[in-house]
Amino acid sequence: MSIVTRAAVCRAPGTPWEITELELDEPRANEVRIKYYAAGLCHSDDHIQKGDAPMRMPVVGGHEGAGVVDAVGPGVTRVAVGDHVVCSFIPVCGKCRYCSTARQALCDEGKNAGIGVLPDGTFRFHQNGEDFGGLCVLGTFSQYGVVSEFSCIKIPEDIPFDVASLVGCGVPTGWGSAVHAAGVRAGQTVVIYGCGGVGSNAVQGARLAGAKNVIVVDPVEFKRDMAKVFGATHTFASAKEAHDFVVETTWGELADHAIITVGILNDEVIKNAVQVVGKAGQVTITAVGNGWIDENPGMLIGYQRRIQGSIFGMCNPLYDVPRLLELYRSGDLKLDELITRRYRLDEVNQGYQDMLDGKNIRGVIIHEH
């Protein structure tokens, strides 16, 4: 039997999120129905809604979500009815070339992210005969969703759903950008451009990995204040001020790492990041947007600089998500502090406006049932 679910959908790029009722099919083989309690407002959904990044429409928004499994289809083994789960924004099949070589963020099952169709090639959300995809094959801006079991990670029941939802994208993406993709080591100097929901976790990762200087660039004062809470040692409103400080504090050797987690990637931030790292330095690009790498290769060759792209912080979600929640429990990772405001589903557009206005580290939708 299908059920009815209230969801925030986008019907065409550039049109606002619209709250509507959809029919949701039962889970089929290897699929799970989740009753969502919380969904995080990651900048990537805004890229889809604004049309910065392409996606099949109409789409149910949201790829950070946590809730309870309330039905399973045949053959499901990863989770059971009643389990508390967080969604992994890239599914993890466990057996493809990348999963089986500890690179789960590259799982081949991630191929449908921009279409939002289940692995069997069909959709579960419908309205008047029209199919709706789910963002990242999830769609957590909905009271209920049917997802592949590969998208589910079981979590302990004492973890609140609002903080759990963020460990499906923003937390591992940022933390892993520093710990995995950059590979920050004790005593190093790291410059992080953009300290929102993702960047705040890059700060936490760099700090926990033992960086001596965790330097944040963000034009918004509130973000800079919060960056200090997450472990930044120095904060600056502009890349120029940060650059001058790095030159001074490293005696001209420059930084070991630059990590780009700004809202919208652009040429200028890439240029600043390349210039702030020294010999054998690395620029890690996590932000999505329009920037082009427009550098004379000499800039890379002479100093042996690297530019590294990073998806999902190069994490292995089945290992890293429970590990991050353990760090939260022990007080080594701050998650409560990431949530600035909570919203009802029908306030989703306001939540994104607050993000763009620099008012939120992360906004979280609390679903009503």
Question: According to CB under 6 A, which residues from 123 to 162 bind ligand NAD?
Answer: none
Nearest Cα residue to 210 out of 149, 275, 257 = 257
**CB-based contact 82:182 (threshold 8 Å):** no
44 is catalytic: yes
Q: Kindly state whether residue 312 participates in binding ligand NAD, applying the rule CB under 6 A.
A: yes
Q: Which does 272 bind (CB under 5 to 8 A by kind): ligand NAD, Zn ion, none?
A: none
Both tokens of 209, joined, read 């990995």
**Annotated catalytic residue within 44, 142, 148, 200:** 44
195 is catalytic: no
Q: Give me the least distance between CB of 72 and ligand NAD, in Å please.
A: 28
Among 19, 57, 96, 318, binds Zn ion (CB under 5 A): 96
Question: According to CB under 5 A, which residues from 1 to 60 bind Zn ion?
Answer: 42, 44
Q: Is 294 exposed, middle or buried (0-12, 13-18, 19+ CB in 10 A)?
A: exposed
**CB-based contact 266:290 (threshold 8 Å):** yes
Which helix (H) or strand (E) segment holds residue 270: the answer is helix 267-276
- Cβ closest to Zn ion, residue 47 vs residue 305: 47
- Cβ closest to Zn ion, residue 85 vs residue 99: 99
310 is catalytic: no
Among 72, 355, 364, 365, binds ligand NAD (CB under 6 A): 355
CA distance 251 to 248: 5
Q: What are phi and psi of 129, to 5 degrees?
A: 80, -5
Rg of the chain over all Cα atoms, to the nearest angstrom: 20
Among 78, 223, 305, 367, binds ligand NAD (CB under 6 A): 223
**CB-based contact 70:34 (threshold 8 Å):** yes
Among 143, 235, 310, 316, binds ligand NAD (CB under 6 A): 310
Q: Kindly state whether residue 107 participates in binding Zn ion, applying the rule CB under 5 A.
A: yes
Torsion angle, alpha carbons of 80, 318, 345, 360, to 10: 150
Residues, the chain, total?
Answer: 369
243 is catalytic: no
Q: What is the DSSP letter of 178?
A: I
Among 27, 199, 278, 351, binds ligand NAD (CB under 6 A): 199
Binding positions for ligand NAD, rule: CB under 6 A: 42-44, 47, 169-170, 173, 193-199, 217-220, 223, 261-264, 269, 286-289, 310-312, 355, 358
Active-site amino acid positions: 42, 44, 47, 63, 169
